[in-house]
Chain A
Amino acid sequence: MQSATLNEEFLSPYEAYIEGLFSRCAENSPNFGVTTEQFKTSVKNTLSRFLQASTEPASETETLEFLNLLQADDLFMALACANGNERAWWEFDHQHRAHLERIARHLAKTEADAQEVIECVYVELYGTRVVNGERVSKFATYSGRGSLRGWLRTVIWHALVDLHRASHEEVSLDEMTETVGEGMAHASFAEPPPGGEGEVLDQIARNRYRRVTLLAIQGAFASLEDHEKLLLLYYHVEQLKLREIARLVENEASPLRGSFQRRLQSREKNAGGRIHESTIMRWLEKSYSKVLALFKSELESKHGLTDAEIEICIELATQDLAGDSLFQNLTG
């Protein structure tokens, strides 16, 4: 991590670029009343976060690219609104209110909820809390790294979750998320008790295969790289559709996209073009192949299983899936 002083030193070569951004914004919105100092402080804070995100020093090209991607006009408006500038608020309201209302109506169950959320968000954006004599506006947390509308969608989404929580006090979102599937987790194997000696031995063998299958799948998943894990989690746990994942990596600078494309560079045609659902499917398939290879290798090397036994493991696991019993002892 670079210290604050080092950052200040590192940031100085970019002063001129940041001033250029400011001039452009001030020209586009001359009545917003944002000072050069305020704008520079905000951009520098964001830039510091960018630099401190990794221990590797950022190159000048990388840093300039980052600055170039900042939504400077959106940030300028947010800073002006945080200051309480009348013109900026008017433009914000004019440009974004209809969008905010559409999102709120889309997410909320009732029109009343949608209205309540819009009202709460406006109040939060303006800020009613005063710290050290200064009003704290939510706008001050917007960095300009993404679009203002994307950020507003997140704010609305959170506000609705809070509203929902408030009306369902007995169950928080965390609790709801945590308790799903708990019944399944604590259930015992729903299998008939074994009969004769042969059956007992058979059952012991089966249980051994089940145990090593579970360990091998856990190990295989743990061996994947983070971007592969996240892709699989989005697809299987969050149930994102292929087109939704494609949307997530639509931006050419998307880190997930970058990670996959680097790994598959030789085979990926049109690396800079649009990502289609078929590309996501291909990435998933690559991940499954890797998991299969790791799974087999784990069973062979760690548990000394033969190819035939590995086949039994996969077969048993597939049969168990029909009854949902395979992962019931995941905690055990």
Chain B
Amino acid sequence: MPLGLRLSCGRRVKMENTGKRSAEELKIQELLGAFLVSRENLKSSAAETSYHLDEDSLAVFAEGNLSERESLPVVSHLVDCGFCRHKTAELVRLNLDFAGADQRIPVEDREPSKISEVLSGLLAKIFGTTDEAVFAHQEKESDEKTAEDDEQNEETK
């Protein structure tokens, strides 16, 4: 599923049927499905709602972990806001794709590497410079190192 930008423009034409339902019920099911898709396509979801759910709430809802107390306004919002609902649907799919991948990896007891080792390369790549602004302590270390090198060079000379 590339990028999760699946747009819901289709209609669920072939519905599941348990075999116990009347022809009238099946017709209303199809009618309702078509109505909901048409209704959604006409709505300007972003303009309709004054706010959108934050990432934390979206994640908690998609995991099914939102408390009932908190869920009432969220469910109500998702009914009206196609933008947030679409996100939760994509996250549900994503969570299902990665079900069982949430086990923690035991961390070996060894000396941790510096945060700068993880991030400095990334920052340099993104900002096109070194990570001076963020890692002041590292700047100091590198300055010291440069100073040492300069001293050695001086001595050699």
Contacts and interface: CB of A to CB of B under 8 A. Distances in A.
B55 A146 contact: no
A91 to B, nearest CB: 5
Contacts of A181: 9, 37-38, 40-42
Contacts of B85: 230, 233-234, 237-238
A122 B112 contact: no
Contacts of B27: 314, 317-318
Interface in A207-260: 213-214, 217-218, 220-221, 226-227, 229-230, 232-240, 242-245, 247-251, 253-258
A237 B118 contact: no
Contacts of B56: 141-143, 145-146, 151, 154
Which of A161, A226, A227 neighbours the largest number of chain B CB atoms within 10 Å of its CB? A226
A81 B130 CA distance: 21
Interface of A: 49-50, 53-54, 56, 58, 62, 66, 69, 84-87, 89-91, 93-95, 98-99, 102-103, 106-109, 119-120, 122-123, 126, 128, 135, 141-143, 145-147, 149-151, 153-155, 157-158, 160-161, 164, 173-174, 176-178, 180-182, 184-185, 213-214, 217-218, 220-221, 226-227, 229-230, 232-240, 242-245, 247-251, 253-258, 278, 281-282, 285, 288-289, 291-292, 295, 314, 317-318, 321, 324, 326-328, 330-331
Given A87-B112, A181-B9, A314-B24, A50 B70 contact: yes
Contacts of A146: 56, 59-60, 63, 65
16 contacts: A66-B69, A103-B94, A123-B126, A154-B62, A157-B90, A178-B46, A226-B79, A234-B89, A236-B37, A239-B8, A248-B92, A253-B65, A255-B71, A288-B29, A288-B32, A326-B34
**Secondary structure class of chain B's binding surface, majority of residues:** helix
A218 B38 CA distance: 11
A45 to B, nearest CB: 11
Closest 7 CB pairs of A and B: A181-B41, A255-B71, A90-B112, A327-B38, A251-B64, A238-B89, A146-B60
Interface of A, secondary structure class, is: helix
Contact of B36 (A62, A93, A213, A237): A237
B51 interface: no
Given A151-B59, A281-B18, A288-B25, A122 B64 contact: no
B127 to A, nearest CB: 8
Nearest to A143: B56
Contacts of A84: 115
B97 A106 contact: yes
Contact of A247 (B31, B86, B92): B92
A174 B44 CA distance: 8
Given A106-B1, A120-B126, A327-B35, A150 B67 contact: no
Interface residues of B, number: 93
Contacts of A285: 18, 21, 25
B92 A107 contact: no
Interface of B: 1-12, 16, 18, 21, 24-25, 27-46, 54-56, 58-60, 62-76, 78-79, 82-83, 85-87, 89-99, 101-102, 104-105, 107, 112-115, 118-119, 122-123, 125-126, 133-134
A254 B64 contact: yes
Contacts of A247: 64, 92, 95-96, 99
Contact of A331 (B11, B37, B42, B66): B42
Max count, chain B CB within 10 A of own CB: residue among A58, A90, A119? A90
Contact of A240 (B35, B41, B64, B89): B89
Given A150-B62, A226-B76, A237 B107 contact: no
A149 B11 contact: no
Contacts of B134: 126, 128, 135
A174 to B, nearest CB: 4
Contacts of A102: 98, 101
Contact of A321 (B31, B71, B87, B122): B31
A4 B141 CA distance: 45
A174 B75 contact: no
Contact of B67 (A66, A108, A256): A66
Contact of A218 (B35, B64, B101, B105): B35
Contact of A221 (B11, B35, B58, B75): B35
